[in-house]
């Protein structure tokens, strides 16, 4: 652990939605390694229990919470935030990571139900959580909000139109909040993960094996990313090192977006 450094998160409280696996758990691990108290939110209790055990091995049980919550339900989000601040006393860092995908061969083939499901889970939920979390940060006089976008925030795709639309919206929502809340000393930024090995992308591999292999050839790093690859950027954006950084969208993609 790093102590008393620019990236040290001692005394900070982080909430990571979708923190019970994949990218969210990778970022939560990075936060506890930098001395933060961390609350993870997710829908699956079994995954929450497993993730909590992993985090407690790094930091001890007194600095970890795991809460079952559907981020599309504002009442449930409010209750979760009250539990987090009730136990830890504050909320300094919010990572809006929860997300889903539904695919179709072409946009017109995506059902209205799938469209609404993805937009609600990936975009509306960010507004739910952010708008309810912001007052805690404003009262504290500081805060860091990190929204997780995607390569689809930059590139279009014919087979995931709702996902691409939602992730493009994440970047614009990030900029709107950044403009509004810098006066409150709350910085709002986005991370745009490239192709990272997660449960969601494993489903992609099964559905589109040829495209999966092509991604490695397109990526200058020559590999798919791992959840831990987001840790450094997530810590930077959560720490005092980024106090003059807001409204940005940082690709973490092994060079995929520049080639």
- pLDDT on residue 4: 57
Least Cα distance to 69 among 78, 60, 59 occurs for 78
Read off the pLDDT of residues 102-125 as tens digits, 9 standing for 90 and up. 999 999 999 999 999 999 999 999
Q: Which two tokens stand for residue 255?
A: 């060079």
pLDDT at 3 over 70: no
Phi, then psi, of 95 in degrees rounded to 5: -115, 115
Positions marked active-site = 163
Domains present along the chain, CATH in parentheses: 13-250 (3.40.50.720)
Picking from 19-33, 53-67, 155-169, 190-204, which range would have the lowest pLDDT averaged per residue? 190-204
**Mean pLDDT for the chain?**
94
Token pair 């001395």 is found at 35
Read off the pLDDT of residues 141-182 as tens digits, 9 standing for 90 and up. 999 999 999 999 999 889 899 999 999 999 999 999 999 999
CA torsion sign for 92, 71, 119, 139 is negative
How far apart are the C-alpha atoms of 235 and 137, rounded to whole Å?
18
pTM score, two decimals?
0.95
In 111-172, beta strands by DSSP E = 143-148
Interacting residues of 225 by C-beta distance below 8 A, sequence separation 6+: 193, 194, 195, 196, 197, 252, 253, 254
Banded model confidence at residue 200, pLDDT cuts 50, 70, 90 = confident
pLDDT at 201 over 90: no
């Amino acid at each position: 652990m790093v102590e008393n450094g620019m990236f040290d998160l001692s005394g900070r409280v982080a909430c990571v939605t979708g923190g019970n696996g994949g990218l969210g758990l990778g970022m939560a691990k990075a936060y506890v390694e930098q001395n933060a108290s961390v609350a993870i939110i997710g829908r699956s209790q079994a995954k929450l229990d497993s993730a909590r055990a992993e985090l407690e091995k790094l930091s001890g049980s007194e600095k970890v919470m795991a809460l079952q919550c559907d981020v599309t339900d504002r009442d449930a989000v409010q209750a979760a935030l009250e539990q987090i601040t009730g136990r830890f006393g504050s909320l300094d860092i919010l990572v809006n990571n929860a997300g889903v995908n539904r695919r179709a061969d072409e946009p017109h083939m995506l059902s209205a139900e799938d469209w609404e499901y993805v937009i609600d889970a990936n975009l509306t939920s960010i507004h739910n959580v952010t708008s309810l979390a912001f007052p805690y940060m404003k009262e504290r006089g500081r805060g860091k909000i990190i929204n997780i976008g995607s390569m689809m925030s930059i590139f279009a795709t014919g087979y995931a139109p709702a996902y691409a639309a939602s992730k493009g919206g994440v970047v614009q929502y990030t900029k709107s909040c950044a403009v509004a809340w810098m006066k409150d000393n709350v910085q709002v930024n986005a991370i745009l993960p490239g192709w990272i090995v997660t449960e969601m992308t494993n489903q992609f591999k099964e559905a589109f094996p040829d495209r999966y292999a092509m991604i490695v050839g397109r990526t200058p790093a020559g590999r798919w990313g791992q959840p831990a690859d987001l840790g450094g950027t997530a810590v930077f954006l959560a720490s005092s090192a980024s106090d003059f950084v807001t409204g940005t969208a940082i690709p973490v993609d092994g060079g995929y977006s520049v080639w």
